[in-house]
Amino acid sequence: MIAASRPVIAVTTQTLEEIPDELPRCWIMSQRYVRTLTASGAVPWIVPLMDDPETLRAIYDRVDGVFLPGGVDIDPLSYNESKTTACGRVDSDRDRTEIMLADWAMKDKKPILAVCRGAQLLSVAAGGTLYQDLDKEYPGAIKHDYFPKAGVHTRQDLVHPVDVVPDTRLSRVLGTNKVLVNSMHHQGIKRLAPTLIANAFAPDGLIEGVESVTDDFVLGVQWHPEDLADSEPKMRSLFDAFIEAASGWRLGLRKRVPAAARGS
């Protein structure tokens, strides 16, 4: 892919709290996401969690797609609920930044791909709610929290099947209506936002994927395809399809903006 035509993808970060006398607050994110996106043709733009909408908007205006990674729990205040003891560590700066970016992108029809926490964030940004802890709030829940632990679980473990709804964008991208997935979460989508539809379900009925009710490329999955992309072509296809959509956005933007205005 010619460098000039590669789409720029926003990749949000997470807060690493200060270690007194050793390290100030930092913004971090797994290299796995960046490497997987780059392998599919993206130019990643790591996004800081600044309380500065003007700067964030300037970043957003320069990207062709938004990628929402996994991470810590979403603060229930984001969906107007009180935090229970079952809710884990949250990152309010991240919630604010990602909700803003997701809202802008959905309004502008700019492509979005979201994984795990990111899929939950998509629904929250559009007005949905979450189960703060599946074991405590979702009767009949299967085990979803296969968090990596040496000698017990890895990020590549395929731990449960997912039924993909036929004739959805997700089914077309994956080329199948059933996949085995990894699973590293204890929260899940409770009330789905009205602008999204569920496109995949776990055996216990929990929503495992979401997409836009329109034809816009807004796609979220509850598992971690970036950890499977090197060995599972179906998982790689999620990133390839996203980058293709972002490339289409970039091409469409260049057609809309006069050459003199874009410096070419």
Q: What is the 3-state secondary structure (H, E, C) of the chain?
A: CCHHHCCEEEEECEEECCECCCECCEEECCHHHHHHHHHCCCEEEEECCCCCHHHHHHHHHCCCEEEECCCCECCHHHHCCCCCCCCCCECHHHHHHHHHHHHHHHHHCCCEEEECHHHHHHHHHCCCCEECCHHHHCCCCCCCECCCECCCECCCCCCEEEEECCCCHHHHHHCCCEEEECCECCCEECCCCCCEEEEEECCCCCEEEEEECCCCCEEEECCCHHHCCCCCHHHHHHHHHHHHHHHHHHHHHHHHCCHHHHCC
Q: Which of 98, 208, 211, 226 is catalytic?
A: 226
The verdict on whether 98 is a catalytic residue reads no
The verdict on whether 137 is a catalytic residue reads no
Q: Which of 87, 116, 185, 208 is catalytic?
A: 116
The verdict on whether 116 is a catalytic residue reads yes
Q: Which of 208, 211, 224, 232 is catalytic?
A: 224
Catalytic residues: 116, 224, 226
